[in-house]
Amino acid sequence: MNRYADNSITTLQFIAIITGTQVSFGFIDIPYELHEHAGSDGWISLVIGWLVTTAASLIAIRLMKGYRQGTLLDLLAQYGGRWAGRAVACVLACYFAIFSYDGLIYSTRVIKSRILQETPIFITLFLILIPAYMVARNEVRNIGRYSEFALLASLWIPFIFSFTLRHANWLYLLPVLPGGWGPVLSTVPHTIYYFLSFFASVFLYPYLQKKERAGMAIVIALTLTLLSFLFISIVCFVFLSPDEFGTIYQPAIYLLKTVRLPFLEQVEGMFIVMYLLIFSIAWIPSLYFFSYSVNWTFGRTDPRLPLRLLIGTIIVSSYFYVPDYWQLIRLNKWLSGFGFGVEYVLPLLLLALLSMSKRYRAEVKQA
């Protein structure tokens, strides 16, 4: 079990991986999504979604406390047999592959429509994937360091958005709850997708240096995510009139288009390029976990082969076919259902089963 101890990550790295994965495209998309379903009250749904996910994550951490030596898959193999573990590993590998594919295509689509309109997508994708591969082929510790750097290097983002506040009209936030609690509560499931990273708490837990801080770390990570989502949502809500909101995709980028610095035009272009750092935390850890799951299934340890296969497939396939925005949105919807299953229901179910079987064995031993 030295594999986990040798690759331990610090609490800050743990927080950075979780927050980075969650924030990534949410930051660009969440204002539109919230406004579509709940109008200017969407931020309330966000707070409720945060409460729900924090509670779920704390329960998971509490359950994981009993199993310090391995990831969920190791536990499953230990208690349910090798094949049960393999089945779950296959499902997880698919999930992580689709999750990273979704993130990659989304970012390249943004670059294509905003910056490099004439460059073919497969070239952009190729350029993005080279550094992604170089990070993801390493161990968890390297991914932790990378995420930490990416998160710290992106702390300027709120400041650039403060330039847009001179257009703000705070009256757009009123009235609060014009349609009652109904729309707000029905939006909560949509927000949960953006808080997905539950895998982190069950997969990264064994690597964590100071396990007693895991609960605190996950609360901090989720709160950071909540704060960044709340920030961008409220900035967009007070900037765009409620009547024009539905006409603008990716409001976060639209907002930056109105910023004009004396030394820099088209601030949003710079933003997208720099934001790739945050975007990349969506796919780099998932690429790693993909190769981890595949390797686990076949009992291998070198993460490079599955990674090369996946990356090669993505690049080659993008030459022939790239999903458009609408297909991506449908994929996102589907992923959010699947993700909910994989990241919330499945681990909780498994952990509950494991703890039951452990108790059962203990009883058998006693008897």
Number of residues that bind another protein (CB under 8 A): 33
> Which one of 84, 123, 227, 230 is in contact with another protein (CB under 8 A)?
123
Q: Closer CB to another protein, residue 178 or residue 182? A: 178
CA distance 195 to 21: 9
> Which one of 101, 161, 172, 195 is in contact with another protein (CB under 8 A)?
172
Residues 30-59 contacting another protein, CB under 8 A:
none
Q: Nearest to residue 183, comparing CAs of 315, 295, 362, 48?
A: 48
Residue 162 near another protein by CB under 8 A: no
Nearest approach in angstroms of CB 194 to another protein is: 23
Residue 119 near another protein by CB under 8 A: yes
> Which one of 58, 98, 116, 348 is in contact with another protein (CB under 8 A)?
116
Residue 337 near another protein by CB under 8 A: no
What's the Cα-to-Cα distance from 250 to each of 160, 247, 254, 255, 343, rounded to whole Å?
Answer: 17, 10, 7, 9, 26
> Which one of 155, 171, 364, 367 is in contact with another protein (CB under 8 A)?
171
CA distance 295 to 74: 12
CA distance 322 to 327: 9
DSSP letters for 229-263:
HHHHHHHHHHHS-TTTGGG-SSHHHHHHHT--BTT
> Which one of 3, 114, 211, 358 is in contact with another protein (CB under 8 A)?
114
Residue 117 near another protein by CB under 8 A: yes
What is the dihedral sign for C-alpha 274, 278, 279, 280? positive
Residue 308 near another protein by CB under 8 A: no
Q: Amino acid identity of 352?
A: A
Q: Closer CB to another protein, residue 224 or residue 272? A: 272
Residue 302 near another protein by CB under 8 A: no
CA distance 144 to 138: 10
For residue 264, what are the β-bridge partners? 261
Residue 174 near another protein by CB under 8 A: yes
Residue 138 near another protein by CB under 8 A: no
CA distance 53 to 218: 10
What residues line the site for another protein (CB under 8 A)? 113-120, 123, 126-127, 130, 134, 167, 169, 171-172, 174-175, 178, 240-241, 243-244, 247-248, 253-254, 257-258, 260, 265-266
